[in-house]
A and B are shown apart, each in its own frame.
Chain A
Amino acid sequence: MEITLTHYLLLAAAIFVTGMVGFIVRRNAIVMLMCVELMLSSVNIVFAAFSRFHLDGGGHVFVLMNFAVAAAEAAIGLAILVEIFRRRRTVNVDDLKTLME
């Protein structure tokens, strides 16, 4: 079987939905951040696949930038989580209700 553009897109869609569902279902903030990383990875697959499809380098550049931004986002997210864990001993978002009405 030949691997075509459609296969890449289906794979990306599957990963994206997995990440989305995980983000909504799980309550552990670290797992939620990991799910976001999954979603970003699926975007990378789409960009890389289309970049090859259109024979245009723009998509590849986008993937590299996306890596950098995702790493920065994870770094900031984890730093904040450490700060919260030190004081509350939990990373469950349902326990963080100081700001709810």
Chain B
Amino acid sequence: MELNLNIPSWSDLRFWLPEAILCITFLVALLGDLVVRGRRTWVPFAVSVAGLITAGAYAVAAMNHGLDAGQFQGHTIMGSLMIVDGMAGFFRLLFIFASLVTVLFAWTSEEIMGKRRENKGEFYALTVLLTAAMMVMAEARDLLMLFLSMEAVGLISYVMAGYMRTSLRSSEASLKYVLFGAVSSAIMLYGMSLLYGMTGAMEFDGIRNALISGTVDPFALLVVVVLILAGMSYKIAAVPFHYWCPDVYEGAPTPVSAIFSVGPKAAGFALMIRFFYTTFAAGTDAGTQLVQDINWPLLVAVMSVATMTYGNLVALRQTNVKRMLAYSSIAHVGYLLMGFVLLSSAGLASILFYLLVYTLMNLGAFFYVVAINNHLKSEELSDYVGIGFRAPWAGAMMVIFLASLTGVPPFAGFVGKFYLFTAVLDKQWFWLAIVAALNSVVSLYYYFKVVRAMFLSTPAEGTDMSPLKLHWLQYVVLAMLAIPTLALGLFFEEFKGLADMAIGMMGG
């Protein structure tokens, strides 16, 4: 037996600085929290913010350097376990931004900090570690790293979902997350073990080469694809592996639901893109071919339709805003999956752009729920009546987020959907485009229901209509999300170009 000991050289790690910084930040924040033990909760907060900003600066520098050089085809790290390329660079920035705004907003959330701010700062440390794990998910190019990064994200998520230990809802959400997560990762692992058996390789490109050159039973390969797809669609909460999603989002503290609804989902998409487009599809641009004629695009297309239709229809009858947003996030996964089936770089680039837009608008909507929850202690739609007038600025920003989620021009959500639909029509998947268009119309109804409650409904007699005083940081963060949501609806070329380049610079 030959054990291929490919000792990685330390010099590789200079491409991995942002992740390394985040890992160190995690340790410092956790230890710092223990040292100051409950007295100064700002210590882990400040450490986390500083770490995220530093890592972000390095990630931006790496991206700029890669773009200047005109190519960012990737540096493999730790042998061939991971690759830092244009796509990984794009996702790094996305994750760091999402985590940074979440950490900032969580500082003002009573669910996270406790009423008398008695809670410790583990939340910040965990968010930082989650960011690092998600970044590795976007970089994995080996079955082992794929599994480890997905489990790392999963394990941290289970803990974060149960963060409010005094709340039964939070613990219950966490338990459901663990059970579904464990079983779906076991299913995915079984598929991976069979794939390893068929090909004898762990790296994605090695697997592809073995599949192309070797003789593989098509039926067995189809089973493997289905098993692996099951595990990954659990991560992005696509039908039929979505059961956990509404319960977890509703039970977990709202800032945690916010990061769950964008971070791990985007990471799941990054992983799926890299895995399926290197392993089960060969070639780039116009000539992407399926390996061994396994028609996984059709499989995913059916899933996409089921996901968006289910998400939208069930969202219609929700009375809890947080739960409604959970179903809406399922519907958005359905839209995103459309770009995944096209086998074209335009489709993948539109996924990346839509993920960017989705991050802004979905985080914004969740954060508004956090801000309101601090005062009302409720997420029920019936309690939102007249709330728009009690905090007009925040209310106006919420309307922007909801309009963007619907996909109404001139907001960013419209541009994102426009690119997705164009890519779909380019590849002549007309039925897919029609179903998605109908779905967008349905979604207008439930998003507007929230706007109507906030601004248009007449509150019952005796309802408290005193103005709500929001924390200044909440206005800052909401503006950080609302202004780009507006701006990206008008000046999108630059960022669409970035998404195009990221996909163009995807190394094998």
A complexed with B:
yes
Given contacts A55-B2, A65-B147, A98-B172, contact A73 B190 (CB under 8 A): no
Given contacts A36-B186, A57-B4, A73-B182, contact A83 B162 (CB under 8 A): yes
> B182: which of A33, A49, A61 is its contact (CB, 8 Å)?
A33
> A99: which of B3, B169, B182, B200 is its contact (CB, 8 Å)?
B169
Q: Are B171 and A57 in contact (CB under 8 A)?
A: no
Q: Are A96 and B158 in contact (CB under 8 A)?
A: no
Residues of A within 8 Å of B190, CB to CB, are: 16, 39, 42-43, 46
Considering the complex, which residues of chain B in the window 123-165 have a beta carbon less than 8 Å from any beta carbon of chain A? 143-144, 147-148, 151, 154-155, 158-159, 162, 165
A74 to chain B, nearest CB (A): 9
Residues of B within 8 Å of A35, CB to CB, are: 183
> B186: which of A19, A49, A50 is its contact (CB, 8 Å)?
A19
Residues of A within 8 Å of B176, CB to CB, are: 96, 99
Contact with A along B1-42 (1 / 0, CB 8 A): 111100000000000000000000000000000000000000
Is residue B202 contacting chain A, with contact meaning CB distance below 8 A?
Answer: yes
Given contacts A72-B155, A96-B172, A100-B247, contact A77 B1 (CB under 8 A): no
Is residue B251 contacting chain A, with contact meaning CB distance below 8 A?
Answer: yes
Question: On chain B, which size bracket covers the interface?
Answer: 35 or more
Q: Which residue of B lies closest to A74 (CB)?
A: B182
Residues of chain A at interface, number, CB under 8 A:
49
Given contacts A46-B194, A58-B144, contact A84 B172 (CB under 8 A): yes
Is residue B173 contacting chain A, with contact meaning CB distance below 8 A?
Answer: yes
Q: Which residue of B lies closest to A83 (CB)?
A: B171
Considering the complex, which residues of chain A in the window 61-99 have a beta carbon less than 8 Å from any beta carbon of chain B? 61-62, 65-66, 69, 72-73, 76-77, 80-81, 83-84, 87-88, 93, 96, 98-99
Contact with A along B183-199 (1 / 0, CB 8 A): 10011011011101100
Is residue B476 contacting chain A, with contact meaning CB distance below 8 A?
Answer: no
Q: In the complex, A73→B182 CA distance in Å? A: 7
